[in-house]
């Protein structure tokens, strides 16, 4: 085989070679664009601003924090064991399993627990809807798979703690609409897990 034949055989695009579409910085296919040299800095600033805006959307930032009341009276309410799909359980004594104090059920350690109001839709698939109160305990050590309250560059967000195949920390949304992307934590980010979400509650009326 002559040298020309070798070059022709080795040349050309190989199937599956190169970076996968959607794996780059912008998570989508990119195109080459020629712009005046004087406008390079302007375009870069615009793209950086776009990335910051997209990051804020993916973060689904929470800003409202509340602490449990200092003095709470015990409030034990009946807990029925009757299995019903709707309506009220039977008041018969044999269905009364025990009495439940909502404060004790929701809060493990009062001194390290606070509430965060959910403000977006990034975690709806795990039952966290806008207006819900998430119960966060700072004393608990977060594990992979836990729902956590994290702070990234000064912004708070609630996501599921995860790791990439490479072992890097990721924060995963729980929204099947794909409107929210996973957040990959990099060395440039100021990142900290502030607490573990242990539960939530909401009012309907």
Domains and CATH numbers, the chain: 60-69+109-201 (2.10.109.10)
> Is 20 an annotated catalytic residue?
no
**pLDDT at 86 (0 to 100):** 55
**Strands (DSSP E) found in the chain:** 65-66, 77-80, 96-100, 113-117, 133-137, 147-152, 155-163, 169-172, 183-184, 191-201
pLDDT for the residue 9? 46
The whole-angstrom separation of Cα 115 and Cα 109 is: 13
101: exposed, middle or buried (C-beta count within 10 Å: 0-12, 13-18, 19+)? middle
Distance CA 148, CA 151 (A): 10
Residue 91 confidence (pLDDT): 54
Phi, psi torsion values for 62, nearest 5 degrees:
-110, 145
| Mean pLDDT, 10 residues at a time, the chain of 205 residues | 45 53 55 79 69 67 82 62 54 62 88 93 96 95 96 93 93 93 90 96 91
Catalytic annotation, pick one of 133, 140, 159, 200: 159
Using DSSP, state whether 44 is helix, strand or coil: helix
pTM of the shown model: 0.66
Instruction: Report the sign of the C-alpha dihedral through residues 59, 60, 62, 68, in that order.
Output: negative
Would you state the pLDDT for residue 160? 97
Catalytic residue, from 53, 74, 85, 122: name it: 122
The secondary structure of residue 62, as a DSSP letter, is B
DSSP structure class, residue 151: E
Q: Is 205 an annotated catalytic residue?
A: no
d(CA 41, CA 133): 43
């Amino acid at each position: 085989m002559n040298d020309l034949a070798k070059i022709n055989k080795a040349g050309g695009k190989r199937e599956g070679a190169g970076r996968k579409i959607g794996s780059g910085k912008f998570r989508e296919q990119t195109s080459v664009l020629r712009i005046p040299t004087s406008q390079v800095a302007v375009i870069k600033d615009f793209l950086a601003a776009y990335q910051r805006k997209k990051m804020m959307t993916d973060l689904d930032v929470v800003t409202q924090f509340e602490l449990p009341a200092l003095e709470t009276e015990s409030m034990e309410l009946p807990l029925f064991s009757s299995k019903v799909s709707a309506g009220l359980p039977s008041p018969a004594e044999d269905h009364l399993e025990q009495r439940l104090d909502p404060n004790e059920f929701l809060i493990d350690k009062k001194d390290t627990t606070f509430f965060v109001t959910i403000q977006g839709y990034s975690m709806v698939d795990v039952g966290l809807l806008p207006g819900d109160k998430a119960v966060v305990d700072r004393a608990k050590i977060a594990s992979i798979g836990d729902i956590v309250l994290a702070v990234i560059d000064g912004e708070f967000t609630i996501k599921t703690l995860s790791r990439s195949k490479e072992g890097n920390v990721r924060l995963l949304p729980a929204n099947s609409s794909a409107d929210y992307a996973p957040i990959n934590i990099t060395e440039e980010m100021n990142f900290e897990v502030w607490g573990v979400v242990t539960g939530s509650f909401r009012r309907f009326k």
